Amino acid sequence: MNLINGAKFNMKPAKQNIRHITILAFEQMLGSSAANPMEMLEAARARLKVSRASNTDFKIEVAAPEVKSLPLLGGFQIRPHCELSSIESTDLIVVPALWRNPANTLREHKNTTIPWLLKQYLAGASIMAVGTGVSLVAETGILNGKAATTHWHYLEHFAQAYPLVNLKSKHLLTQSGRIYCAASVSSAADMMIHWLGLVFGRELSLQVEQQFSPEVRNAFETKVFHSELGDQHPDEVVANIQSWLQQNLSEDLAVQALAKQAKLSPRQLSRRFKSVSGKTLGEYQQHLRCMAAKDLLKNTDMGIADIGSAIGYGDTSYFGRIFHRYSGQSPKAYRNKVRHKL
């Protein structure tokens, strides 16, 4: 049974300045699900130190209820930096994947890690959970009514254990506000790149992406179910406009017609759409179009001009500029990167 149980809490908004990141540690966890995010965060931290003022720095700590050596899958051991109780505030929590059924871990951490997760989330922390580690987040109740995913082998059990969670079994990644879920260790790398882009900007996330696996990284947006492009907000008017835009990629953005459809003035629609989605109508359409372009560049032999035309950009040079602004590279460079793998 989760900790919320229908109670209402005062929940703070997401923290804007990242000062502290916690990586949880458990016995028999998959070490790579903690080590990989930590290495990527350290790479981002190093680049921030070089390129920005010192006030952008943050601290990364591995934490557990007790500071003692913990055996991991494969015979390795990890020793946490500190006890959970010593961390009063944190900005991001990485919950690693657990080996096989997480039931024992859930029981062991019922009165320690799970309440601590809830407390930190309600205080404004973001949570990134990997594989079966998502079950620890679900135990708190904060995933009720929200999208989530988990390891494929545990999907059926998860659905039975947490019926109030909106389980997206066909998605490797989900985002619901400040809660990020990755079904596997490899997809967690894509999630971390996405988070770095949201927090520190696209330029830094591209640098970290290129440092770790530029040849094989798949676009986050093509695999994720997340609130910005999905149905996780209650505004039916905006959801209908989003759906229309998704189904009519090549159509010109006719704000007047969309506003009439929504029974709003163009100004009212524009303000309402940005307030709910975080993007202007134009930004949202460009985002969708570039997602589609990435898929076509990777999986088809269509010419770049034809791809631009198919998604609504008749001017090839303009398409190239928009795509570069979105992805940090030209359509041709992106195609070469994703097709010529080592």
Q: Where are the domains positioned within the chain? A: 20-226, 236-339
**If you average pLDDT over residues 82-89, what whole number do you get?**
95
Q: Which fold, 20-226?
A: Rossmann fold (3.40.50)
Please give the share of the chain, as a percent, with pLDDT higher than 90. 43
In the predicted structure, residue 290 carries a pLDDT above the cut 70:
yes
Q: Which residues contact 87 (CB under 8 A, 6 or more apart)?
A: 20, 22, 61, 63, 116, 120
Q: In the structure, what pLDDT confidence band is assigned to residue 342 with cuts at 50, 70 and 90?
A: very low
pLDDT tens for each residue of 167-179: 998 888 888 889 9
What's the whole-number average pLDDT of the chain?
Answer: 84
**If you average pLDDT over residues 91-110, what whole number do you get?**
93
pLDDT tens for each residue of 200-232: 887 888 888 888 764 334 445 545 554 444 445
Q: In the structure, what pLDDT confidence band is assigned to residue 94 with cuts at 50, 70 and 90?
A: very high
User: At residue 298, what is the residue type?
Assistant: K
pLDDT at 321: 94
Residue 230's CB: how many other CB atoms inside 10 A?
A: 18
pLDDT at 99: 83
Please give the share of the chain, as a percent, with pLDDT higher than 70. 86
pLDDT at 54: 54
Question: What's this model's pTM, rounded to 2 decimal places?
Answer: 0.65
For residue 287, the Cα-to-chain-centroid distance in whole angstroms is: 16
pLDDT tens for each residue of 20-50: 999 999 998 989 999 999 999 999 999 888 8
In the predicted structure, residue 303 carries a pLDDT above the cut 60:
yes
Q: Which CATH number fits domain 236-339: 1.10.10.10, 1.10.357.10, 1.25.40.340, 1.10.10.60?
A: 1.10.10.60
> Comparing C-alpha atoms, which of 126, 84, 129 is closest to residue 108?
84
For residue 162, the Cα-to-chain-centroid distance in whole angstroms is: 21
User: At residue 147, what is the residue type?
Assistant: A
**If you average pLDDT over residues 301-319, what whole number do you get?**
89
